[in-house]
């Protein structure tokens, strides 16, 4: 029972400081102030959680990074006309609270739509048995509009039916109260309008279209990430070499 007691003590101590919002009347915080307070409280809880869980490993020390994998499978509810997209999404976070990086390896997009862009997001639920619709809406723990959800990864260009992409600086986390572990990664048929669609749905899910494929994020060891990083480096080297030959 030590941890919850500690948490409460910290929150009580933190409360007076978090009331002083610039521009907010002291006794009637507006909706913006409430959102800011919630956000501030989340940051504090995350910090406390980190202190409680980082006894074993210092951040940045070898072996302290968090890893997760998501084995992408075609949605069980697809009709015959839809492409069967599958692949692997890998995540690495150097420490809880640090920015997340990810590899997106996907195959099975129609080759005739070369250069098309497809949205990928983290959705709320991890039960995908009836199809990717069961993943529910975007994972949105802070009640923010799209595309400010932690798992709004944006659009991915398809080349020759494939996505091979490394992204860094992602807002999602593999630890803490808003961890994406156990939730779903969903690959869409369409492009994310990134909140600029001009309709309410745009601020909800970006009008990214059908759900082609999905998977549940699960904790894993460092080996899949190391292999993907090696392959990524080799691909870049090959591309550099062929650019040199062309020049």
Task: Select the binding partner of residue 114 from Cu ion, Zn ion, ligand NAG, none (C-beta < 5 to 8 A, by kind).
Answer: ligand NAG
Task: Select the binding partner of residue 152 from Zn ion, ligand NAG, Cu ion, none (C-beta < 5 to 8 A, by kind).
Answer: Zn ion
Is 186 among the residues that bind Cu ion (CB under 5 A)? Answer: yes
**Distant-in-sequence, close-in-space partners of 36: CB < 8 Å, separation ≥ 6:** 21
Is 105 among the residues that bind Zn ion (CB under 5 A)? Answer: no
Q: Are 118 and 155 in contact (CB under 8 A)?
A: yes
Is 138 among the residues that bind Zn ion (CB under 5 A)? Answer: yes
Residues forming the site for ligand NAG (CB under 6 A): 111, 114-115, 159-160
DSSP 57: -
- Report the nearest approach of ligand NAG to the CB of residue 157 (Å): 7
Residue from 67, 118, 146, 178 carrying the catalytic annotation = 146
Q: With contacts defined by CB under 5 A, how many residues of the chain interact with Zn ion? A: 4
Quick note: the x/- pattern for Zn ion over 140-169, rule CB under 5 A, is ------x--x--x-----------------
Assigned token pair, 182: 């156990």
Question: For the CA atoms of 203, 207, 213, 214, what is the dihedral angle to 10 degrees?
Answer: 10
Query: What residues line the site for Cu ion (CB under 5 A)?
Result: 121, 186
Which are the catalytic amino acids?
121, 123, 138, 146, 149, 152, 188, 211
């Amino acid at each position: 029972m030590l941890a919850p007691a500690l948490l409460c003590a910290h929150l009580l101590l933190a409360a007076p400081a978090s009331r002083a919002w610039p521009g907010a009347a002291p006794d009637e915080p507006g909706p913006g102030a409430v959102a800011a307070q919630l956000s501030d409280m989340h940051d504090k809880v995350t910090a406390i959680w980190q202190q409680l869980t980082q006894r074993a490993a210092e951040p940045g020390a070898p072996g302290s990074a968090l890893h997760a994998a998501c084995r992408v499978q075609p949605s069980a509810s697809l009709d015959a006309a839809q492409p069967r997209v599958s692949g692997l999404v890998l995540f690495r976070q150097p420490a809880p609270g640090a920015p997340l990086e990810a590899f997106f390896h996907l195959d099975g997009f129609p080759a005739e739509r070369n250069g098309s862009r497809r949205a990928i997001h983290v959705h709320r639920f991890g039960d995908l048995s009836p199809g990717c619709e069961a993943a529910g809406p975007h994972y949105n723990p802070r009640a923010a509009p799209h595309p400010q959800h932690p798992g709004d990864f944006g659009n991915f260009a398809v080349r020759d039916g494939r996505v091979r992409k490394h992204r860094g600086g992602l807002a999602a986390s593999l630890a803490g109260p808003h961890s994406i572990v156990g939730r779903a990664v969903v690959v869409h048929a369409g492009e994310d309008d990134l909140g600029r669609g001009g309709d309410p749905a745009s601020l909800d899910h970006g009008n990214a279209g059908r759900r082609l494929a999905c998977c549940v994020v699960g904790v894993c060891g460092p080996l899949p990430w190391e292999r993907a990083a090696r392959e990524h480096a080799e691909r870049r080297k090959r591309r550099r070499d062929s650019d040199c030959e062309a020049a």
